[in-house]
Structure 1
Amino acid sequence: MLDQTRAPLYEALKEFNQKRVVPFDVPGHKRGRGNPELTEFLGQQVMNIDVNSMKPLDNLNHPSSVIKEAESLAAEAFGAHHAFFMVNGTTSAVQAMVFATVKRGDKIILPRNVHRSVLNALVLCGAVPVYINPEMNKRLGISLGMSIKSVAQAIAENPDAKAIFVNNPTYYGICSDLESIVKLAHKADMYVLADEAHGTHLYFGENLPQSALAAGCDMAAVSMHKSGGSLTQSSILLINDKVNPDYMRQVINLTSTTSASYLLLSSLDLSRKHMAINGKEIMERVVDLVKYARDEVNEIGDYWALGSELVDGDAVFAFDDTKLTINTLDIGLAGIEVYDLLRDEYDIQMELGDIANILAYVSIGDRKSDLERLVSALVDIRRRYKKDKTGMWTQEYVNPDVVFTPQDAFYGEKEAVSIDDSIGRVCTEFVMAYPPGIPILAPGERITKDIIDYIVYAKEKGCLITGTEDLEVKKLNVLKERRVYGG
């Protein structure tokens, strides 16, 4: 057992900060002296520890001392064989998992409602996606988890696939039956990779859905900066003993910066310490806060703060009770419209708003008074803005028709056409509402009228549509050729 009260990287930085080292290395601001305005804005302490890799502080690309110790502590805290600190966001952790298991031409089974980082990885490595279209909740307009029947069918039809990718949980708190998926995958000699960007807390709380590593997954990418309390862009990649940690380090270093931020690294070290020591109590308090808010919202009328009533033992195997997702359609407003009202008129910033829901991300830093303010604002919005809901859309996901691999489409010869003229063509870029960052269209998918109608509706309601070369999303890039996939 390691001492989880230790924070070796943080301790090394504190010791370094007490010395009067003359910096003839980068960064060029030289402990803040070179940029007084920035130092005044961020604070001297921040500038003092914004340093470069050096022997006393170890090197993230080849750790041998304090970073290695900090990663070992994280591995133990999460119940992993090895942990890697990531400073390029969970995107880099997700992509490292993909790069380590599949290469050009290899198949990977995945739900279509994955984050764009997964499909970006396929663009880069050339692997072939085998999509499992997720189940849908039509009232909420959100995609759910993967049914075991769908996973078993995908494995039977693609026995040569190298890996299965899962979300645990989805942005909205939906969890699949991971243990059963792992058993099916491992029996077929496939790796199981988990995107746990929204599931860091599952490793520390009680009476929450099972974490990926506890369920037997081979790798998991956890966004420590979300529910774990570290700085934005800091993340941890976890692996079990089936994965070679030395090879994984090489894969990570293909895309990782060689100038890792010690602000991010020390925040990972300290947030791991905090969660390892206090995580159980913290998550118990978070669950209580969300339960309070969920009950209060559901008392208002017309709103639906969804919860464990969704659990069906299959596509919704479990529900993450820390998630506060609120369906807004019965007040006649899209989620993104309520999202905008909360920010612009009530100074409340939600995590996301889609065409049917809003999501409040409740974590270790929230207070009951903050949730009371949210509930009061929702009462007021209903009173002031409620209208007839006729014509409101609910669909968050349109099943894609995959024609080419993401890599072949992205790097293929392309042309820009108006969004109306794109119907029937093959898209070569991403189109997504952000957040949550789940592509409406990905490279290699055929554009249909339903998809275009959805994009236009989402734009009209105020969703931020991203991923396209044309920032106004009036044009889409499509393949010049129209031959069929595999032709």
Structure 2
Amino acid sequence: MYKLDQTQTPLLDALLDYVKNDTVPFHVPGHKKGQGMVSKFKDFIGTNVMAIDVTVFQQVDSLHKPTGVIKEAQTLAADANNADHTLFCVHGTSGAIQAMIMSVVGAGDKIILPRNVHKSVTAGIILSGAMPVYMQPEIDNNIGVALNVTPETVKTTLEQNSDAKAVLIINPTYYGVSTDIERIADIVHSYGIPLIVDEAHGPHLHFHDKLPISAMEAGADMCAQSTHKIIGSLTQSSMLQIKEGLIDVNRVKTMMNLLQTTSPSYILLASLDAARMQMATEGQEILSEAIALAKYARTEINSINGLFCFGEEIVGKEGAYDFDPTKITITCKELGITGHEMEKILAEKYFVQPEMSDLYNVLCVFSIGDTKEKVDTLIAALKEISKIYSNSDRTKLEIVDIPKIPLRVLSPRDAFNGGTVSILLEDSVGEISGEFLLAYPPGIPVLCPGEIITDEIIEYIETLKKAGLYVQGTDDPEVNYIRVINDYRQLDIITSA
């Protein structure tokens, strides 16, 4: 299956040798293997972790110009993920996504992408100066969740924008829904341009045959993965997978070097090396356990009054070609409570912390670190909550339509960098936004810089705020004010649907 010996962990081994040799550190960081660290922190963390918190030198290699053990570790990762090249990222998947975008499009270039992208994608568009052409994903009105874009939508959008330089899709979405990425890859490649993928929530897909196909396997040219989200690396550590051909690999490396710190955490890098080894050598087995637990949880949750957890039955709907069962979306609108309320109750009363919530749902991410005991704790809490709210006088929540994609009249970068003035959100209808409006998580934009603010958007944001969801993107933390373009007459106005 693999060309290389996937039991190896060259970077981790180099760090362990450094510790084993009791090397005397006259290098940064200043805590010197924990010796100078405050006791309150050191006593909890332990000195082993701090002993491998090192800086760049020959034994442990350099992330910005790897020639030794980091290069070996990245080569092993590429082999494990069916890629030609893998780049380690300690800037989170957000940083990898931004580098990915900036390596394929520049100022004024069109990039086609779904509207339900993460805010890191829109940040990458601002940094690159590219012009986004948004595709509307399919919506499941039963659960109030955006699914994915269809190949037909990609095809139509490309026909209308044949001068686009790249297409970006999500595989899978935050909620685990995948599109027909193989077919999309064929469509995109027929235009001679690359397909790049936000695979933040799919780093595990390649390592189990019962999961949706991974981006690299499906023929994508590049994808950014949150290795830390489902498999075993540490938070903030990610990988960027690359296939040669339509991608300028050296430009991608340059962009990664531009965006990443010159003092990367070797703790994070070593965790990527170890996580890759674990997946390559025992991924099928341990992911099978996670999938089985998720199946058990889904069955139990669907037997609880007032709750619903969608699963494989969604496959076949428009925008749902395949599904990752490790994503447990608990729809609670029948109980008359919002997803935010459900999350708050779970966290504060039962000490069960979901991944995120939206207006109608709570999302729990299952992974290789879960146990049946922990799953039963979740199920028991949900049963108690159901009993309480099933007997209350709350009425079922109705799905609120997500606002239509507004008209864009300025490029996101021009609007973001343009002269702005702060006005009341309620008074901003008809103005050009200089900021984002989004609910986070999952960080999907309702409004982007350069777009015309509509009544529909204001009403939707007020609904989110009243429900207690965390709306962000504006300078004003309370999102009562928004910055709008002050004098757009001096800017080059463009129009886009």
Aligned residue identity for 1:324: I
Question: Contact (CA 8 Å) 1:111, 1:134: kept in 2 or not?
Answer: yes
> 1: CA distance between counterparts of 2:493 and 2:359?
32
**What SS does the aligned partner of 2:255 have?**
helix
Unaligned runs of 5+ in 1: none
Alignment of 1:29-48 (within 5 A): 29-37=31-39, 38-48=41-51
Equivalent position of 2:465 in the other structure: 459
Equivalent position of 1:18 in the other structure: 20
> 2: CA distance between counterparts of 1:118 and 1:23?
40
1:350 paired to 2:358: no
Equivalent position of 1:423 in the other structure: 429
> 2: CA distance between counterparts of 1:20 and 1:293?
47
Equivalent residue for 1:372, pick from 376, 379, 388:
376
Q: Higher mean Cα deviation, 476-485 or 60-69?
A: 476-485
> 1: CA distance between counterparts of 2:251 and 2:442?
31
Over the aligned positions, Cα root-mean-square deviation in angstroms equals 1.4
Aligned residue identity for 1:18: K
**What SS does the aligned partner of 1:300 have?**
coil
Equivalent position of 2:394 in the other structure: 388
Alignment of 1:212-251 (within 5 A): 212-242=215-245, 243-251=247-255
Equivalent position of 1:309 in the other structure: 313
Question: Contact (CA 8 Å) 2:334, 2:395: kept in 1 or not?
Answer: yes
Aligned residue identity for 1:36: V
Equivalent position of 1:325 in the other structure: 329
Q: Higher mean Cα deviation, 301-310 or 195-204?
A: 301-310
Aligned residue identity for 2:478: E
Aligned residue identity for 1:447: I
Aligned residue identity for 1:449: D
**What SS does the aligned partner of 1:220 have?**
strand
> 2: CA distance between counterparts of 1:368 and 1:289?
7
Q: 1:313 to 1:433 in 2, by over 3 A?
A: closer
Equivalent residue for 1:272, pick from 263, 269, 276:
276
CA offset at residue 355 of structure 1?
0.2
CA offset at residue 444 of structure 1?
1.3
TM-score (norm 2): 0.95
CA offset at residue 390 of structure 1?
4.9
> 1: CA distance between counterparts of 2:4 and 2:252?
23
Moved over 6 A (4+): none
1:98-120 C-alpha deviation (Å, 9 max, x unpaired): 01100000000000100000100
Equivalent residue for 1:181, pick from 165, 170, 184:
184
Equivalent position of 1:132 in the other structure: 135
1:53 paired to 2:61: no
Equivalent residue for 2:97, pick from 94, 97, 108:
94
The size of the alignment, in residue pairs, is: 487
Alignment of 1:43-192 (within 5 A): 43-192=46-195
Question: Contact (CA 8 Å) 1:425, 1:482: kept in 2 or not?
Answer: no
**What SS does the aligned partner of 1:25 have?**
coil
Question: Contact (CA 8 Å) 2:85, 2:242: kept in 1 or not?
Answer: yes
> 2: CA distance between counterparts of 1:129 and 1:206?
34
> 1: CA distance between counterparts of 2:17 and 2:354?
39
Unaligned runs of 5+ in 2: none
**What SS does the aligned partner of 1:221 have?**
strand
**What SS does the aligned partner of 2:23 have?**
coil
CA offset at residue 460 of structure 1?
1.6
CA offset at residue 51 of structure 1?
0.6
CA offset at residue 206 of structure 1?
1.4
Equivalent position of 1:8 in the other structure: 10
Percent of residue pairs identical: 43
> 1: CA distance between counterparts of 2:112 and 2:388?
46
Equivalent position of 1:359 in the other structure: 363
